[in-house]
Structure formats: C-alpha cells, structure tokens
Chain A
Amino acid sequence: MKIMNVTCNDRDRIFEDGTLAEWAALEAHAANCLLCAEELRAWKSLSFSAQELRDYTESPTLWLRIERALAEEAERKTQRAERRRWHSFFQHLPVGWQMAAAGAFLLVLTVSAGWFYLHQPKDGQRADQSLLKSKALKEVESAEATYVQAIDKLAAEAQPLLENPATPLLANYHEKLIVLDSAIADLRAQAGINPSNAQLRYQLLAMYQEKQHTLEEVLEAKQ
C-alpha cells in the first residue's frame, strides 16, 4: 500500500475523521516528527485510559429484580388490556346495539327497583307489630282494672271506719291512704301519657299492693 503524504497540519483532521490510509500516513509522519509523535501517543493514551472506566462485574441480583418488575408490569398490562377490550367492545358496537344495551340495562334496573319495592315490609306488618304491643298493654290494663275493683271493694268496707276514726291508729291509716291515693293518681296520669312504660306499671302495682295491705290492716283493726 502506498503511504500518502501528511503534514502536522493534517493531524487534528485525521484525529477527528481520518481514514485508515490517513492514520497510517500520520504514523509514518510521526516517526520523524517529535511533536506529532507525542500528540499521537497522547491521543491514543486517552483511548487506552478509557478502559479504566470499564467495569463489567456481574451483579447477581439485578436480573432477578428486573425479571420480577417485568413480570409485574406484564400482569398490569394484561389487566389494562382487559379493561380496554371491554371499553372498545362497547365503543365498536353499532349505535342500534348500544341503544339496545342501554335499554336492557334500564329494564334490569327498573325490574330490580320494582322487586325491592314490592318486597319491602308493608304498613300492615308494621300495624301487626304495634297491635301486639297494644294487646299486651290491654291485658295489663285489664288485670289492673280488676285489681283496682277488688281494692275498691275493700275501700268501701273500710270507708265508715276511716271517715270517723275512733283511734289515732285509724286516723294514721286514713292519712296514709290519702297519700297513697294521691301517689296512685299521679302514677296513673303518667301511665296515661306513656302507657308502654313498664317501670311506671310496676310502681303503680306496688302502690296498689300497699293500699290493699293498709285497707286489710284497717279492717283487722276493726275486728
């Protein structure tokens, strides 16, 4: 191969974009030119030094990390594609079919709403529940009325003794019965406002029992 002639002025151009022949010519020129020889050495040294920046040591876990990340991404991609397929399925339906699908959906919605409306608890069922409550209350009130009647009979028998008490004991019984009657009247008034309050009913029953005992004691005192 014939070696072409190059000068020091060609050096930079050859460094930048020289052909193989030009490089050979530069090498030949450098054999007789100290400056170009130094520049050529320095230039090539940079390429050699660059190898120091090469570190291709294996990273044992890197591929495993990447593989896991790729698998997760592929999974997400599949899910997204699934969603897109449904979306595009509806998008690509003819308008008539889209209308039909919307109508069918509306129909299903209406039927469901109707079913729930028809199967919800009715007023009658609610009335039955309240009837049960009032039935129990009526039983209580009926028993109470019978009890009150029985006590009234006792009171009628004790009435003459209490109107003109012969002894201080009978006078005390009279006063006690007046207080009990007053308390009974109060409790009955409250029970009238809140008839299902069981606590009031128990208190009222206790008062009646106390009145019954007191009347019995009055009648015993007479004997």
Chain B
Amino acid sequence: MGTMGLALPWKARISSTLRERGTRVEPSEQFTGGLGAVAADAASEDAALAAACRSGDLRAYERLYATHGARMKNLARNVLGNPIDAEDAVQETFLKVQRSIAGFRGQSSFVTWTYRILINTCYDARRSRLRKKEVANHDSEETPRFEPRAPGAHPSLRMALERALAKLTQHQRDVFLLYEVEGFRHAEIAGMLEMSETASKNTLFQAKKNLRQMLEPPRSSAAEAR
C-alpha cells in the first residue's frame, strides 16, 4: 500500500484532547462494572423508544431523530460521500424502521438495529448508484467521491483521511467510521455489522494500521523531523 504523499503533522496534533480521546477510544470498554446502572437506564429508555415507535407514535420517531439524526446523517455522508444521498438514506432508514418495527424482537438494542438498517440502506444506495453508472457507461468507481462540506480545523487532514478511507475494505471503513468518528462501542458495532466483538476490534486494528501506512510521512521527512 503506497503512501498518500501528505504527511500528517503527528506531533502537532497530540494534545490534551487527544489524551481524552485516547482514553475513550481504547480502554474505556473495560469499565463495564461501574456503569451498570447507566447501562440499565439506557436499555430501558431504548426499549421504551422501541415500544413507542411500534405503536406508531410519530413523536417517538421525532425523538429518535433528535437523538440520532445528526449522527445517522454524518455516518451516511461518510459512507456515501455526499449530503443529499445521506439525507435520502436517513429518510429511507426511518421508513424501513416504521415498516419492520413489528418484526423487531429486541435481539439487539433498538438503536443498534436502526443503525444496522441505515448501514444496509447505504450499501443498497451505493450498489444502486454503481449500477446506474455502469448503465450510463461512466467510470465505475466504487469508492465514494466526497463533496465539500463545512470546513473543519484541518481541511487537508480531513481530505487525506477521506481519500485513505476510500482505499480501505468496506468493513474496515465502516468499523473505523462507527468507532472513531461516531463513537460507538465494539459491542454495538458488532451488532450493527453482524460480526463478533473480537472481529470488530481486529478490523479496527487493521483499518488503523492501513491508514497509518497510507498517511505516514515519507521516511526522509520523518527522519528530518527527529
């Protein structure tokens, strides 16, 4: 795997925020015992939301949107590459939830189930877009093309990361987006992507290793930096 030719300012980005992030990302899942009550609350809230949605209460869907809409749209945007398709995918997801809520038996949390539907909807949208491209005899590029969005603190870093993500396998990209960008736990990702928790951890490790290889500075400049 070749480098992206865009060196990340590694040292400049290591800050207190990073430390916080690092603490959440890597070892936080070990603290499960002390969070039992919080987890129970979340579970009962999730079950109540599912029951309200099952009863056809539109306010429940609004609550779901208020809590997760922005995150769902962001995830869809990162998978599909543009905000218009992302909004369509989120809308389609809500409709699918409404259509199939009667079949939801609580095997996973309602929110996890909703995100699984969103991810599958994004896959469908991408497949459909690819088919249309093939029919139109256009360039059958499978990876999403990212449209400009609100500028962040490091636009070049974001672009480099988007390009690198596009080169990962679908699973690696999805696990990275769900874990690192959206902040889901491995247990939740495992439910969404229908894989084991261990597989989720391993996939994230491989994804980050590949991204590290793609984004690392050329050896010479790295040596100069030292």
| Docked-complex contact A53 and B161, CB < 8 angstroms | yes
Option from A22, A38, A53, A56 in Cβ contact (under 8 Å) with B158: A53
Contact in complex: B208, A65 (CB < 8 Å):
no
Task: Please report the total number of A residues contacting B with Cβ < 8 Å.
Answer: 41
Partner of A55, one of B77, B99, B153, B157: B77
CB-defined contacts of A23 to chain B, threshold 8 Å: 22, 26-27
**Chain A residue, CB-CB nearest to B205:** A16
Instruction: Kindly provide the distance from the CB of A78 to the nearest chain B CB, expressed in whole angstroms.
Output: 9
Whether B8 pairs with A49 at a CB distance below 8 angstroms is yes
Instruction: Contacts A12-B205, A19-B30 given; indicate if A45 touches B154 (C-beta within 8 A).
Output: no
Check B212–A62 contact: CB distance below 8 A. no
Q: Which residues of B contact A140 (CB under 8 A)?
A: none
In the complex where A47-B25, A53-B161, A62-B87 touch, is A15 in contact with B78 (Cβ < 8 A)? no
Stretch at the interface among B13-21, B37-45, B106-114, B118-126: B13-21
Contact for B94 among A42, A46, A70, CB less than 8 A: A70
Asked if A44 lies at the interface with its beta carbon under 8 angstroms from chain B, I say: yes
A55 contact set on B, CB distance < 8 A: 74, 77, 149-150, 152
Interface status of B52 (Cβ within 8 A of chain A): no
B residues 164-221 touching A (CB-CB < 8 Å): 165, 176-177, 180-182, 198, 201-202, 204-205, 208, 211-212, 215-216
Is A165 on the interface with B (CB-CB < 8 A)?
no
CB distance from A51 to the nearest CB of B (A): 7
Contacts of A19 in B (CB 8 A): 27, 30
**Residue of A at shortest CB range from B19?**
A44
Which residues 14-35 of A have a CB within 8 angstroms of B? Answer: 15-20, 22-23, 34
Knowing A49-B157, A55-B150 touch, does A66 contact B65 (C-beta < 8 A)? yes
Contact with A along B59-75 (1 / 0, CB 8 A): 00110010001110110
Return A205 CB to nearest CB of chain B, in Å: 79
Rounded to whole angstroms, the CA-CA distance of A71 and B70 in the bound complex is: 21
Q: A23-B26, A47-B21 are in contact. Are A69 and B208 (CB under 8 A)?
A: no
Give how many A-B residue pairs fall within 8 Å (CB-CB).
Answer: 141
Mark B residues whose CB is within 8 Å of A.
8, 10-11, 13-15, 17-19, 21-22, 25-27, 30-31, 56, 58, 61-62, 65, 69-71, 73-74, 77-78, 83, 87, 90-91, 94-95, 98-99, 149-150, 152-154, 157-158, 161-162, 165, 176-177, 180-182, 198, 201-202, 204-205, 208, 211-212, 215-216, 226
How many angstroms between the C-alpha atoms of A23 and B70 in the bound complex? 32
Closest to B206 in A: A16
Note all chain B residues with C-beta closer than 8 A to A71: 58
Closest residue of chain A to B186 (Cβ to Cβ) is A17
Pair B94/A15 contact, Cβ less than 8 Å: no
Contact A65 B14, beta carbon cutoff 8 Å: no
A34 CA to B198 CA in the complex, in Å?
Answer: 30
Determine the distance from Cα of A65 to Cα of B177 in the docked complex, in whole angstroms. Answer: 26
Contact A48 B13 (CB under 8 A): yes
Which residues of chain B have C-beta atoms less than 8 A from A62's C-beta? 65, 69, 73, 87, 90-91
Q: Tell me which residues across on chain B come within 8 A of A20, comparing CB atoms.
A: 27, 30-31
C-alpha gap A74/B165 in the complex (Å): 38
CB of A46 within 8 A of CB of B208, answer: yes
The distance from the CB of A13 to the nearest CB of chain B, in whole angstroms, is 9
Give CA–CA (A171, B154) in the complex, Å: 127
* Cβ-closest chain B residue relative to A17: B201
| Pairwise interchain contact B58-A59, C-beta atoms closer than 8 A | no
- How far is it, in angstroms, between the C-alpha of A22 and the C-alpha of B54 when the chains are bound? 44
Best-buried of A44, A49, A63 by chain B (most CB within 10 Å): A49
Q: A23-B27, A52-B152, A69-B95 are in contact. List 9 more A-B contacts (CB 8 A).
A: A17-B201, A23-B22, A44-B19, A45-B13, A52-B154, A62-B90, A66-B65, A70-B58, A73-B95
Q: Are B70 and A41 in contact (CB under 8 A)?
A: no
A59 proximity list for chain B (CB < 8 A): 69, 73, 83, 87
Q: Which residues of A contact B204 (CB under 8 A)?
A: 16
Indicate if the CB atoms of A57 and B150 lie closer than 8 Å.
Answer: yes
For this complex, 29 residue pairs linking A to B, each with C-beta atoms less than 8 Å apart, are A16-B204, A42-B10, A43-B212, A44-B19, A44-B22, A45-B14, A46-B180, A46-B215, A47-B22, A47-B25, A48-B13, A48-B21, A49-B154, A49-B161, A50-B176, A53-B158, A53-B177, A54-B182, A55-B152, A56-B70, A58-B70, A59-B87, A62-B87, A62-B91, A65-B87, A66-B90, A70-B61, A73-B99, A77-B98
